[in-house]
Amino acid sequence: MNLGFGVVGTGAIGQEHMKRITRKLTGADIVAVTDVNQELAGNIVKELNLNASVHKDDTELINDPNVKAVLVTSWGPAHEGTVLKAIEAGKFVFVEKPLATTSEGCERIVTAEQEQGKRLVQVGFMRRYDSGYLQMKEAIDNNFIGEPLMVRCSHRNPEVGERYTTDMAILDTLIHEIDTLHWLVGDDYKSIQVTYPKKSSRALEHLKDPQIVTFETKSGIIMHAEIFVNCQFGYDIQCEVIGEEGVVKLPEVPSVGYRKDGVRGYKILQDWQHRFNDAFNNEFQDFIDSINQKGEPQGPSSWDGYIASVTGDAGVRAQTSEQVEVIELPDRPDFYKKTKLEESSL
């Protein structure tokens, strides 16, 4: 039987995921939706031609017996409340990042989930489902490059608008590297530091751009992550892991090679939607299949959401202090022991 999704928040990415679930993936249906903008919610149901109830709020939606899994794509500050209610009701949850906007909020979710007794929550860190990262993880796990020692990565965006603030470089942009890098090398963060290179004249006055973030892991791996959201030339995600015996590097996005006007070139993508479209599809299909077949999700857990939140908070502190900030995390509970997806690649 298909997994019945109830969607909380039918905005931009909510709609993307609804189309994905109904048009691209298999094994799930949208059976209910809600949004503080009730009209929007109703319109989407009509537009996508769904057989789905429109509920007045998340509580009502969660109580709908047809809803087996809650998709949380509301604004960040609303995530925690909905996730906690869904856990209490024993429903599965797919929550777009962030899991909660505070580390305390994440802790409350982690505690509630453990008390409730089994894994219910998956957080929307889709990069773990990107074929390039998966190939890198497989190579690292197979000891192809020996022990990882250093990581270098870049997160580049062509440009950002006025509402993008300096802390968002950590909390909205770097958040994906935060989740991916420790997973990739199978290690935990010990500290984070933020350095500000010379500012790009293309960045608006209030924004520090670019920024360089340095992580150190418990085993001593040093990771440099460049965040550059006004790089002008395209959406460009780079990642390279240097190990004792070799190096692996994320592939470039495949693009027709051309020769013209004195240039041998390849087009660069301009947006993250195209870059990670397959990853989003794989992520949701895995969430659906894992629940349908094994009774629980196996992707990034609320513990991963908690790690990201604690690390992100330390990162924001580091933006102000310009010092090395320690990342304090309790030991990973047995409940959140590594799943197959984390142990070996898809």
The interface with its own copies within residues 270-289 (CB under 8 A) comprises: 270, 278, 285, 289
In the bound state with ligand NAD, the residue whose beta carbon lies nearer, of 148 and 312, is: 312
In the bound state with ligand NAD, the residue whose beta carbon lies nearer, of 40 and 269, is: 40
11 binds, among its own copies, ligand NAD, none (CB under 5 to 8 A by kind): ligand NAD
Could you give the CA distance from residue 229 to residue 56 in angstroms, rounded to a whole number?
37
Who contacts 170 (Cβ-Cβ below 8 Å, separation ≥6)? 194, 213, 227, 312, 315, 316, 319
> Is residue 75 near its own copies by the rule CB under 8 A?
no
> Is residue 9 near ligand NAD by the rule CB under 6 A?
yes
Could you give the CA distance from residue 216 to residue 51 in angstroms, rounded to a whole number?
49
Per the CB < 8 A criterion, the answer to whether 19 and 48 are in contact is yes
In the bound state with ligand NAD, the residue whose beta carbon lies nearer, of 235 and 303, is: 235
- At 216, list the tokens: 């150190």
The interface with its own copies within residues 140-179 (CB under 8 A) comprises: 144-150, 152, 154
In this chain, which residue has its C-beta nearest to ligand NAD? 11
Question: C-beta of 263: minimal distance to ligand NAD in Å?
Answer: 25
> Is residue 267 near its own copies by the rule CB under 8 A?
yes
Who contacts 42 (Cβ-Cβ below 8 Å, separation ≥6)? 54
Helix, coil or strand: residue 274: helix
In the bound state with ligand NAD, the residue whose beta carbon lies nearer, of 34 and 345, is: 34
**β-pair type (189-195, 53-54):** unpaired
> Is residue 101 near ligand NAD by the rule CB under 6 A?
no
Binding mask 126-145 for its own copies (x = CB under 8 A): -----xx--xx--x----xx
Q: Which amino acid is at 9?
A: G
The interface with ligand NAD within residues 75-94 (CB under 6 A) comprises: 75-76, 78
**β-pair type (236-243, 148-156):** antiparallel
- Tokens 């790690």 identify what position? 307
> Is residue 20 near ligand NAD by the rule CB under 6 A?
no
